[in-house]
């Protein structure tokens, strides 16, 4: 049985993933059980991760700050604070910050899939509280291949190369 847990604002293991998104874990789930929950923070203009889908997990986004455009299957939707986006397993998706300010999303993955392991492997631990400046230009081929390989190990399939973003 899980113990109660309180994570205060600004607390939680934090990482910078792909040089552009600040991820703070609020609850680490055990793979295949429960859920993982984390906060994504990104600057205006952030282009998002490459389109992908989760083989075995649902993913839920809840808008906290900023304005985003989500690719959901074959359509795009705009979302702001208070918006809720549920993506059943197998749904191709990505998002980008279309606002003029930093954005924050609360993200839940259920059941947990080891996404934290992916972030720990590909990301950089950080003590910073704000999102980094996005890199200018697409990821290099080696980084894109590594992302696709590590993601696949964690049940996430990339459906187009990051250089096509």
Query: Where along the chain do its domains lie?
Result: 14-164
Q: Give the residue carrying structure tokens 């690719």.
A: 71
Ranges of residues in the chain whose predicted pLDDT is under 50: 161-165
> In this predicted structure, what is the pLDDT of residue 60?
96
Classify domain 14-164 by CATH number: 2.60.120.10
* Whole-angstrom distance, CA of residue 123 vs CA of residue 136: 18
- Report the predicted TM-score, pTM, of the whole model to 2 decimal places: 0.87
> In this predicted structure, what is the pLDDT of residue 19?
80
């Amino acid at each position: 049985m899980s113990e109660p847990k309180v994570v205060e604002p600004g607390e939680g293991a934090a990482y910078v993933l792909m040089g552009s998104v600040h991820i703070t874990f609020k609850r680490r789930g055990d793979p295949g059980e429960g859920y993982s929950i984390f906060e994504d923070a990104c600057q205006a203009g952030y282009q998002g991760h490459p389109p992908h889908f989760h083989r075995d997990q649902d993913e839920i986004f809840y808008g906290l700050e900023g304005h985003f455009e989500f690719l959901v299957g074959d359509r795009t939707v705009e979302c702001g604070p208070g918006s809720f986006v549920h993506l059943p397993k197998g749904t191709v998706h990505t998002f980008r910050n279309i606002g003029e300010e930093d954005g924050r999303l609360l993200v839940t993955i259920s059941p947990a899939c080891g996404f934290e392991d992916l972030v720990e492997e590909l990301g950089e631990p950080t003590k910073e509280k704000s999102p980094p400046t996005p890199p200018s230009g697409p990821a290099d081929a080696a980084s894109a291949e590594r992302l696709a390989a590590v993601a696949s190990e964690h049940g996430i399939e990339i459906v187009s190369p990051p250089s096509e973003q």
